Amino acid sequence: MILDVAARSFKSAKVLIPVEQLIGNCAGSRLPEVAPGQLTPAAAAAAVEACPTSALQLEEAACGAQLVLDYGECIGCGACAEASPLAFAPARLLPQFGVSRSGLVRRWNLATGAELPADDPVTVGIGNEILALMGRALNIREVDAGSCNGCEGEIVALNGPHYDLERFGIHFVASPKHADMLLVTGPVTRNMTEALRRTYEATPSPKLVVAVGACGCSGGLFHGSYAVTGGVDAVIPVDGFVPGCPPTPAMLLTGILRVIGSPAARRL
């Protein structure tokens, strides 16, 4: 049986996806994109009512009513698109990966449908001094702080022949003592809070932390539960957030490259 599987594998086409097709690609994640020309107060209200995680909110501001979309809380369920199919659709390209927590939030003016400038523009938030110390190599320690393993399945795919994370000089390591970056998944459960904190302390400086998935960004569906502490930033400092439930390998790769300041990621 094993030889049959190997034979079929060798016969199948192996395609290394070019980085230009990966950066910012979120196809398959079901994260929503808003069509400003179709965004009406009624469409926004219907989508907010349908959202199960409060990722969509209506707010009043000096310029009028606003629709707020927080990708850090969005689980990509598609309920907003079902409630308002003209105003919401699955996104195929987004820059909100590996950004600050506030960089995951977008706003639209309901009177005009226009997107408002972000409070924290999407930028590369890593200093040149850290990049100089790391060089072109990066060692990652993945930490499961209480996830359902959905994010882990996508992370494993990064090492496959289609995505080939190692072409960027990025490797996964078994010990935080060998790591430059912690890739943390799941809402941080109470049982994992101290373990995550100790893992962070065991990682030598300079170090980076990326929170993965809706759970890692905000606690996701488990936010407010007695069993969880919250998102990763409730326990340790976070340099970048990658939303999604789960994020696709392309989204993970975009977030990692953005956080380390790769020129490939700056093409966003």
Number of domains present in the structure of the chain? 2
258: domain CATH number is: 3.40.50.12280
Task: Decide if 101 contacts 217 (C-beta within 8 A).
Answer: yes
150 and 49 in one domain?
no
Enclosing H/E stretch for 107: strand 105-109
- 133 vs 186, which has greater pLDDT? 186
Q: Does position 173 have pLDDT exceeding 60, yes or no?
A: yes
Cis amide bond preceding 18, omega within 30: no
Torsion angles phi and psi, residue 89, rounded to 5: -150, 155
In eight-state DSSP terms, residue 177 is G
Residue 167 binned pLDDT confidence (cut-offs 50, 70, 90): confident
In eight-state DSSP terms, residue 25 is B
Residue 21 binned pLDDT confidence (cut-offs 50, 70, 90): confident
Residue 63 binned pLDDT confidence (cut-offs 50, 70, 90): confident
76: domain CATH number is: 3.30.70.3270
* Torsion over CA: 89, 92, 94, 97 (sign): positive
Q: How far apart are CA 258 and CA 268, in angstroms?
A: 9
Q: Does position 1 have pLDDT exceeding 60, yes or no?
A: no
Task: Decide if 152 contacts 179 (C-beta within 8 A).
Answer: no
Would you state the pLDDT for residue 3? 62
Would you state the pLDDT for residue 267? 46
Helix (H, G, I), strand (E, B) or coil at 68: strand
End position of a domain, from candidates 109, 143, 165:
109
Would you state the pLDDT for residue 125? 43
In a domain, 210, yes or no: yes
Q: Write the CB contacts of 145 (distance below 8 Å, at least 6 apart in sequence).
A: 184, 185, 186, 187, 188, 189, 192, 195, 196, 216, 232, 235
Helix (H, G, I), strand (E, B) or coil at 264: coil
Q: How far apart are CA 202 and CA 214, in angstroms?
A: 25
Q: How far apart are CA 29 and CA 76, in angstroms?
A: 6
Would you state the pLDDT for residue 202? 97
181 and 96 in one domain?
no
Q: What is the pLDDT of residues 25-52, one digit of tens each?
A: 999 999 999 999 899 999 999 999 999 9
In the numeric block, which tokens belong to residue 249?
């390998």
71 and 190 in one domain?
no
In a domain, 19, yes or no: no
Please state, rounded to an integer, the average pLDDT across all residues of the chain: 88
Would you state the pLDDT for residue 8? 59
Q: Which of 153, 149, 147 is nearest to 189 (CA)?
A: 147
Q: What is the pLDDT of residues 194-227, one digit of tens each?
A: 999 999 999 999 899 999 999 999 999 898 899 9
In a domain, 11, yes or no: no
Looking at residue 7, its amino acid is A
Residue 12 binned pLDDT confidence (cut-offs 50, 70, 90): low
Q: Does position 7 have pLDDT exceeding 80, yes or no?
A: no
156 and 226 in one domain?
yes
88 and 137 in one domain?
no
Q: Does position 182 have pLDDT exceeding 70, yes or no?
A: yes
140 and 250 in one domain?
yes
Helix (H, G, I), strand (E, B) or coil at 148: coil
In a domain, 15, yes or no: no
In terms of pTM, does the model score above 0.85? yes
Task: Decide if 236 contacts 195 (C-beta within 8 A).
Answer: no
Mean pLDDT of 220-235: 93
202 and 97 in one domain?
no
Torsion angles phi and psi, residue 234, rounded to 5: -80, -10
Would you state the pLDDT for residue 235? 97
Distances from the Cα of 144 to the Cα of 156, 159, 191, 203, angstroms: 13, 17, 12, 16
239 and 140 in one domain?
yes
Could you tell me the residue range of the domain that residue 166 belongs to? 128-267
256 and 152 in one domain?
yes
153 and 105 in one domain?
no
In DSSP terms, which residues pair with 60 in a beta bridge? 65
262 and 189 in one domain?
yes
Q: What percent of the chain has pLDDT over 70?
A: 85
